[in-house]
């Protein structure tokens, strides 16, 4: 692929959505690194769409790719910030866009792969047209979250913006805080802002979704967790 001949053209991106333990890493290894079907070996780089792998440390608990795979198949958006930092979906989309452009400029295929559905959706469709963060409001909500806990703020969100509350888990501190932040800054519920429809036009997407029968998936998850403890998860 010679990207210099495609000025202004859409960037081709393979998007692989794979919930935990469905075999994403094994598939990437087979197709792009060292398997017998590695037709694209050396021709692709991975953009991780995992909300936990962005943080340094926690290598075992987040099932980061091992050094052997990283040496033959470069990964982006892994180990890029401290666990003390916030990393939002807007941060993800901005960094993923930069990584995809960089990868394509070098004549390779960007592969956005991971199991964080919120990240994948935002990358495919774009972000809702909500206002930028107000740091003063954010700081106050962060203080309240620490002092009062997520249950109290979630109850408040259910009153102010029941539509958003219906799709946010009651323990999802970041999304509860963000929804309340939008309401505090604008006087409007976050759900009232227009959502993006249709795929983003800068990319030519090919999307793959891995799935597995529920019983088998749970067995694989249990095996993975057991393996993590054997590798030292408790100490990590």
Domain ranges in the chain are 3-127+196-231, 135-192
Query: Which fold is adopted by the domain 135-192?
Result: Histone, subunit A (1.10.20)
Separation between Cα atoms, residue 16 and residue 61, nearest integer Å = 21
What's residue 40's pLDDT?
74
What's residue 191's pLDDT?
83
Burial 121-158 (b: 16+ CB within 10 A, else e): ebbbebbeebeeeeeebbeebeeebeeeebeebbebbe
Please answer whether residues 125 and 198 qualify as being in contact, where contact means their C-beta atoms are separated by less than 8 angstroms: yes
What's residue 4's pLDDT?
42
Give the CATH number of domain 3-127+196-231.
Answer: 3.40.50.300
The mean pLDDT values, 10 residues at a time, for the chain of 236 residues are 57 92 85 70 92 84 82 94 88 97 96 92 88 84 94 96 90 90 90 80 94 76 60 59
What's residue 214's pLDDT?
79
What's residue 14's pLDDT?
96
Task: Give the burial class of 223: count Cβ atoms within 10 A of its Cβ; 0-12 exposed, 13-18 middle, 19 or more buried.
Answer: exposed
What's residue 221's pLDDT?
67
Six-digit token string for 33: 């690194």
What's residue 2's pLDDT?
46
């Amino acid at each position: 692929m010679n990207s210099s001949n495609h000025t202004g053209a859409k960037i081709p991106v393979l998007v692989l959505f794979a919930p935990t333990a469905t075999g994403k890493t094994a598939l990437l290894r087979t197709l792009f690194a060292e398997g017998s079907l590695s037709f694209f070996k050396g021709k692709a780089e991975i953009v991780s769409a995992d909300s936990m792998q962005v943080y340094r440390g926690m290598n075992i608990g987040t099932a980061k790719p091992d050094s052997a795979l990283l040496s033959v198949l470069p990964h982006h958006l892994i180990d890029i910030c401290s666990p003390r930092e916030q990393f939002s979906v807007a941060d993800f989309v901005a960094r993923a866009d930069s990584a995809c452009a960089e990868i394509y400029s070098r004549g390779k295929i960007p592969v956005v792969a991971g199991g964080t559905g919120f990240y994948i959706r935002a990358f495919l469709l774009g972000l809702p047209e909500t206002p930028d963060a107000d740091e003063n409001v954010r700081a106050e909500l962060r203080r309240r979250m620490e002092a009062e806990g997520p249950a109290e703020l979630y109850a408040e969100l259910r009153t102010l913006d029941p539509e958003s509350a219906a799709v946010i888990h009651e323990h999802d501190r970041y999304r509860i805080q963000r929804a309340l932040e939008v309401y505090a800054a604008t006087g409007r519920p976050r759900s009232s802002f227009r959502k993006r429809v249709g795929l983003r036009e800068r990319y030519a997407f090919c999307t793959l979704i891995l799935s597995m029968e529920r019983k088998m998936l749970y067995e694989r998850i249990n095996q993975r967790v057991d393996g993590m403890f054997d590798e030292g998860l408790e100490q990590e």
